[in-house]
Amino acid sequence: MRRIVPSLVILSFALVASPAGSKGNTYTPKAGDAAAESVVKTLDPSVDPCVDFYQFACGGWFQSFELPADKVSYTRSFSSIDERNEVLVKGILEDAAKKVDAKDDDKRIGDLYGSCVDTATIDALGAKPLAPTLAEIAAVKDPTTLMVTLGHLQQVGASPLFGFWVEGDFKDPGVNIMHVVQAGLGLPDRDYYLKEGDDAQKTRDAYVATMEKMLGMAGVAEPSATAKKVYAFELALAKIQKAPEDLRDPTTTYHRIELTGLQAKAPALPFGEMFGAMGVPGLTAINVTDPDYIEGMGKIVAATDYDTLKAYLAWQYITAAAPLLSAEWVDANFAFFRKELVGQKSDRDRWKKCVDTSTEAFGEIIGKGYVNLAFKGESKPVAQDLIGRIAKSFEANLPGLSWMDDATRTHAKEKLDLVNNKIGYPDVWRDYSAVTTDKADFFGNVMRSRAFENKRHLDKVGKPVDKAEWWMTPAEVNAYYDPLKNEIVFPAGILQPPFFDATFPAAMNYGAIGMVMGHEFTHGFDDSGAKFDGHGVMTDWWAKDAVDKFGTQTKCVSDLYGTYTITDGLNVNGELTLGENIADLGGIKQAYGAYQSWKGEHGGTEDTRITGMTADQLFFVGYAQSWCSKRTPEIDQLYATVDPHSPPRFRVNGPLSQLPAFQTAFKCKAGKPMAPKTRCEVW
């Protein structure tokens, strides 16, 4: 997954009327208990929890909360933590920027943040920072200069024609290789180019108009005609790209063809020249996720005139650089890419964007200070205990899976035992000493940091995987599972209230962060993760009968979520979201099992601090309330196209409707929407 008020504010004491279907209970929070009062205030007691649990759990919040004008989505848990973290990080950055004798890492973060908030200097420069690279693009005249320039653009945040990342080889996960992927579109996904209808065409027209305006601002001749040519070039690329759901299966995206194979797919493009320009002339270890795309892309480039290719490269560079430029560039970029495309009404405060930019560049420098402020005391040991219990719950669930044979069950247990858990922050902090900064050069600071990060990754190709490396920064409000390392990572940023607090009732912690932990464990066994063994090797460790039955179980999930309607004419993509949905179903089940084990060790019950709400009910409410969300219609459209996660409503109602323990906790009668007579179960 992927961000100044506290997330758990002290709310006024409230008595809440009985919700339909809840046996006449009223919910009375313990006076002065901020956590309990917040839970009750967030409920909507007029809704039957057996009909729409998401609305029951979040309806009070929906009524009182307005989506901020500078956001396109807001989730009660993630976003409130994010806002609090923003303020903490701002303080760290401001302190560094104020130091007149700052050195080393303090100087780096102080220079970057200070140069970012210095809008007077940025505005005075206008488009001047673009000039050197635009001049290089204008000088492109043949395949060699094209690929050298393309390599330079890849170093500073653009991904023309294709993109890449560096991590382990699927068959030899201890060694890093380059993975080349389809990219190069200005709109978010190929669907934006190919979808029919008035709304889709309106978006495309606005995109071309924006391109025309910004190319004109950059001094490109005949910007109207040029924009149309660039769009036609992008459309050609979009037509040969695969849909996101077709790129989820690692067995169909692993093509270790090396540099020679990459070159053979697009013989007119000298990739060696590009790698030389990127500072890694000897790079050869390459996997291509879709060789057909590389072949088709090479043919499209070969058939395109150089004026169009240069305009395309210029546009790719401009869109990567515009947010770093003067106000007119920032405004033009915002007008389409944020307001038109995703429905954001107003731009974010400058300091917030500077916090994000600084964190993107120097996340682990900032992370050291963040951890000292926000992740102290018992937080780490309590989180470690909780995740250990989730793992035991997953193991205890294995014998009850009727579709799995004993041999495969044994291998699943072996993989589970090998999962490595990382909590809070790295054991070894990243070294940024190669990055130089200047308090008067915001554009240069960002571009140098991007080039450093690009080179840092490229230098890993062909070398052993660093198992201590983190893919997220300590302040990030997110978590992930890495199948190639068979590890689960929980940054300190997500281990915060309301997701997690050592002082909360255990039911809330298990329902909120416990479910996230179970979710990440289950990713190791979803339709993609299950293709890697406990050592991170992509291999067939399943018995054939288990594979067939697993396919039946996962099809049930895909079909179920495909019935969920986001808006009129727009349903959840059950194939695209399958892995996350499997993880959600497994995550809440494992978290519930772990909580039952915890209760058994603590007298069999727990004081919820809410009269009228049982411990099991609080567990499910805590889970649902962590996903209370508001979003713009435009971002719903975008997420439905590219996001592998289901919308929050279905991340709650989907898993809980399939879990018998939920129906028991709320006494839901069979046949109710949250208690269907037939259910899906994978893990």
The answer to the question of residue 589 being in a domain is yes
Query: Which pair of tokens denotes residue 49?
Result: 């929890």
Distance of CA 180 to the CA centre of its chain: 20
The answer to the question of residue 104 being in a domain is yes
The answer to the question of residue 3 being in a domain is no
- The pLDDT score that the predictor gives to residue 498 is 86
- The pLDDT score that the predictor gives to residue 208 is 98
- The H or E element that residue 27 is part of is none
φ/ψ of residue 596, rounded to 5: -65, -40
Whether the Cβ atoms of residue 597 and residue 393 lie closer than 8 Å to each other: yes
* 441 in the same domain as 508: no
What is the residue range of 404's domain?
Answer: 378-426+474-665
* 535 in the same domain as 395: yes
The answer to the question of residue 38 being in a domain is no
pLDDT tens digit sequence for 480-492: 999 999 999 999 9
pLDDT tens digit sequence for 18-73: 333 444 468 999 999 999 999 999 999 999 999 999 999 999 999 999 999 999 99
Cα atoms in the Cβ-side hemisphere of radius 13 Å centred on 10: 4
The answer to the question of residue 52 being in a domain is no
Bond prior to 498 in cis (omega within 30° of 0) = yes
What is the rounded distance in angstroms from the CA atom of residue 192 to the CA atom of residue 340? 13
Residues 6 or more apart whose CB falls under 8 angstroms from that of 484 comprise 167, 168, 170, 173, 465, 532, 536
* 311 in the same domain as 221: yes
Strand runs labelled E in 141-187: 162-168, 176-182
**Candidate list 533, 584, 606, 636, residue with the active-site label:** 584
- The pLDDT score that the predictor gives to residue 377 is 66
What is the rounded distance in angstroms from the CA atom of residue 450 to the CA atom of residue 97? 20
What is the rounded distance in angstroms from the CA atom of residue 447 to the CA atom of residue 97? 19
CATH number reported for the structural domain that contains residue 156 in this entry: 1.10.1380.10
- The tally of domains found in the chain comes to 3
What one-character DSSP code corresponds to residue 16?
Answer: B
Amino acid present at 521: F
Residues 6 or more apart whose CB falls under 8 angstroms from that of 317 comprise 130, 133, 134, 137, 153, 156, 158
The answer to the question of residue 530 being in a domain is yes
Amino acid present at 56: F
- The H or E element that residue 75 is part of is strand 73-75
| Number of H-type helices and E-type strands within the chain | 28, 12
- Of 281, 296, 321, the one marking the end of a domain is 321
Tell me whether residue 520 is one of the annotated catalytic residues. Answer: yes
**Candidate list 273, 364, 520, 636, residue with the active-site label:** 520
The answer to the question of residue 390 being in a domain is yes
The answer to the question of residue 359 being in a domain is yes
Whether the Cβ atoms of residue 505 and residue 612 lie closer than 8 Å to each other: no
* 447 in the same domain as 330: yes
What is the rounded distance in angstroms from the CA atom of residue 679 to the CA atom of residue 470? 37
Query: Which pair of tokens denotes residue 444?
Result: 């240069």
What one-character DSSP code corresponds to residue 243?
Answer: P
* 633 in the same domain as 537: yes
Residues of the chain with pLDDT under 70: 1-25, 377-378
* 357 in the same domain as 218: no
* 331 in the same domain as 313: no
* 608 in the same domain as 551: yes
- The H or E element that residue 286 is part of is strand 286-288
* 622 in the same domain as 604: yes
φ/ψ of residue 630, rounded to 5: -125, 140
Tell me whether residue 584 is one of the annotated catalytic residues. Answer: yes
- The pLDDT score that the predictor gives to residue 16 is 34
Handedness of CA 67, 72, 75, 76 (dihedral sign): negative
Cα atoms in the Cβ-side hemisphere of radius 13 Å centred on 580: 22
* 638 in the same domain as 565: yes
What is the rounded distance in angstroms from the CA atom of residue 69 to the CA atom of residue 73? 10
* 332 in the same domain as 312: no
The SS3 of residue 127 is coil
- The pLDDT score that the predictor gives to residue 133 is 98
* 211 in the same domain as 94: no
The model carries a pTM of 0.92
